Amino acid sequence: MSTIRTFIAIEIDPTHKQKLTHLISTLKQSDSDVKWVNGTQMHLTLKFLGNIEETKVQEISDALTSIANSTREFTITLSNIGTFPNAKRPRVIWIGVNKGKNKLKLLAGQIETELEKLGFPKETRDFKSHLTLGRVRSPKNLQNLTKLLTEVSFQSESAIKINKLILFQSTLTPKSVIYTELSTANFTSHL
């Protein structure tokens, strides 16, 4: 049986991708060993599914359509740079969600509930709305990076419209990751 690596996410509009790409350019000045996210591939992951059988794609797509049909479009704003697990030993660098984070959390909870019915285990950690900017690969110039993270700020008052769920396939290649949309479930504009 053929398997594919998948996740469910929300796409970010080109204007915000450009702003975040500019922020990444600033953070790159630390010359630290970070695998930065390519601007064209920025998204908010709601659930990582991992390797699934290709035959499950339709079931997952149907579940996402069901959720989307009962979800009204909303907006979010991005703010604050953060790190996992903490600022002293960052492994992941991210931007948080300010306005709309509770709606995103509810949406992620609906996805967890629906996909559990299809045999996907529920996530045990609390959902934290964030957009990954980069992953630290080694301690090289880490001190420069942590210093820069305390000096740089990011706040965008302009809203990002959240109006669809996307099931992505993630294909790892030697040079990069390729994301392919497998299905899209559009939210209703009114309920």
Catalytic machinery residues: 43, 130
The closest of 80, 78, 83, 124 to 104, measured between CA atoms, is: 78
Angstrom distance (rounded) from CA 154 to CA 79: 5
Angstrom distance (rounded) from CA 31 to CA 28: 6
For residues 50 and 8, the answer to whether their CB atoms sit within 8 Å is no
* Edge-to-edge strands, sheet with 177-186: 43-53, 3-11, 164-172, 177-186
